[in-house]
Amino acid sequence: MKWMEVLQVAGVTLVAAVTLVVLYSLGVRLTAIAADTRQKSTVMARSLAYACFAACAVAVLYGIYLIVPYFGK
Amino acid sequence: MVALVIALALFFDFTNGFHDTANAMATPIATGAIKPKTAVALAAVLNLVGAFLSTEVAKTISGGLIREGTDGIHITPDIIFAGLMGAVLWNMITWLKGLPSSSSHALFGGLIGAAIVGIGIHSINFDTVLIKVILPALFAPLIAGGVAYICTRLAYALTSRHDPETGDKLTQKRGGFRTGQIFTSSLVALAHGTNDAQKTMGIITLVLISAGTQSPGSGPQLWVITACALAIAVGTYAGGWRIIRTMGSGLTEVKPAQGFSAETSTATAILASSHLGFALSTTQVASGSVIGSGLGRKGTSVRWGTAGKIALGWLFTLPASAIVGALTALLVNIGVVGVVIAAVVGTAAVAYMFIASRKSQVGHHNAVEVDEAGRAVRFRKKKKPGKNNRSEGVQR
């Protein structure tokens, strides 16, 4: 019972943190690509980067939504 | 007595605030993502908001925390007073030394010590203590550290760019993580508010219930929530610069990507565990994350000496605050005089530590400051027997 809780916390933490970090890192990478002068389609990369940041923000907000009991009931 | 306990509980909340500012704000300050003053103010506001967001933890504490330590035995305001005294004093000592120790453990320790003296050793259910306090203390930093390690590796792997032909490094824009840090550190501050402010709310509610002014099983009243939220916010704004220094640069050098990963891990670990009803220490999670992120980046060395010192501090947190709690419980058992003496000695000790901290701030350089703080603490410990003598003198 107790070990299940430990695993659960570990699992949730891992999944949530990795999701956020991967999304944000992709965003950072895409901004870097967009900043390359040789690249032609900077608009594409830049908008993708913003999409990543937005997805990251949505994930955070969803997390808070899950935590606050006011929304849960 | 009830008023005294509430005042002390609010002061504990205050120390908790400035003790734990470091958890949220040490890494962004270290990487220069946010200016120190702004960071502290931001953390204060978010702690305030977080304290209002959810009072679930407070409800479970006012019904469950004491049962954890003392197995459902009727607890009196006296014992809570003694326990809080232990927690507050230990928080002050560790702050003086710049050690990020767990405020929750100080609280548990103080209450356990007070309960042993006030009620008896049989009042402690050691199995429950092991499961609810010791095991999470082992796993919290491990989980957070592991996740932070993985996240740091991922963040660097995903953002590393090399020219396929020449193998030269391309622009990586890792500075972008600095902006992200503002948000992740805010999230940690918010998580701290939803978590640690609740502990004090739970304690005050418990006192009110045990004093008979509130019906058992009810949640914290609005004025309690407001007072606790304000106390922790003010404490956070006061800022525990000593601990921020330890967390921000003492453990490992923090780069924006590492800071981002560490904070994300900290925030998710705290939020996930508190949501699943798992008692974790914010401080231990944050320290674990910082170390994990240090291991995750190539070429970063973790200062294991400092890490060891912190771990040693964790080991001592429970017994040390338990001893202070027990001593205070002894005093309180004498009666009103004992309570007055305990209050006066406690206030004097806190005031003394404030003065000691002022003295060592004059030097201002890191190494010097740590040394002087250490000397100051040793000096204070010498005062402790004096406190005992005085209490014995009263007994006679």
What number is the average pLDDT over the span A43-49? 78
| Cβ pairs bridging A and B (under 8 Å) | 120
Q: Above 60 in pLDDT, residue B376? A: no
pLDDT the model gives residue B365: 36
Q: In the numeric block, which tokens belong to residue B9?
A: 């509980």
Strand-pair partners of B162: B169
Model confidence band, residue B363 (pLDDT cutoffs 50, 70, 90): very low
B53 in reach of chain A (CB within 8 A) = yes
Least confident segment among A16-25, B87-96, B104-113, B154-163: B154-163
Q: Between B240 and B155, whose confidence is greater?
A: B155
User: Number of structural domains, chain B?
Assistant: 1
Query: For B139-182, how does the pLDDT look when each residue is reduced to its tens digit (9 = 90+)?
Result: 878 888 888 888 888 888 777 766 556 555 566 666 677 777 78
Q: Between B117 and B119, whose confidence is greater?
A: B117
Q: Which residue stretches of chain B are H helix?
A: 2-31, 36-53, 56-70, 77-97, 103-118, 126-129, 135-159, 176-210, 222-238, 241-245, 256-275, 282-296, 304-334, 336-361, 366-395
**Residue at B368 is within a domain:** no
CA B301/CA B304 separation, integer angstroms: 9
* Per-position DSSP letters for B73-88, written without gaps between them: ----HHHHHHHHHHHH
B152 to chain A: closest CA residue = A21
Report the percent of chain B where pLDDT is more than 70: 69
Report the percent of chain A where pLDDT is more than 90: 0
**Residue at B329 is within a domain:** yes
Q: Which residues in chain B (154-193) have CB-CB distances under 8 A to chain A? A: 154-155, 158-159, 161, 170-174, 176-177, 180, 183-184, 187, 190
Q: Above 80 in pLDDT, residue B241? A: no
CA B315/CA B289 separation, integer angstroms: 19
pLDDT the model gives residue B372: 35
What number is the average pLDDT over the span B58-81? 58
- Sequence-distant (6+) residues with CB within 8 A of B28 are B34, B39, B178, B181, B182, B185, B259, B263
**Residue at B315 is within a domain:** yes
What number is the average pLDDT over the span B188-217? 75
pLDDT the model gives residue B130: 67
Here the ipTM equals 0.81
What is the overall mean pLDDT for chain B? 71
Please tell me which of the candidates A32, A63, A67 has its beta carbon nearest to residue B54. Answer: A67
Q: Which residues in chain B (10-49) have CB-CB distances under 8 A to chain A? A: none
Model confidence band, residue B43 (pLDDT cutoffs 50, 70, 90): confident
Segments forming the whole domain that contains residue B267: 2-159+174-335
pLDDT the model gives residue B378: 35
**Residue at B371 is within a domain:** no
Smallest Cα distance from A54 to chain B, Å: 12
**Residue at B372 is within a domain:** no
Q: Above 50 in pLDDT, residue A36? A: yes
pLDDT the model gives residue B322: 84
pLDDT the model gives residue B122: 64
Model confidence band, residue B368 (pLDDT cutoffs 50, 70, 90): very low
**Residue at B340 is within a domain:** no
Q: Which residue stretches of B98-240 are H helix?
A: 103-118, 126-129, 135-159, 176-210, 222-238
**CA-CA distances (angstroms) from residue B82 to B129, B177, B382?**
19, 45, 21
Please tell me which of the candidates B56, B148, B272 has its beta carbon nearest to residue A12. Answer: B272
pLDDT the model gives residue B123: 62
Q: Phi/psi of residue B176, each to 5°?
A: -60, -25
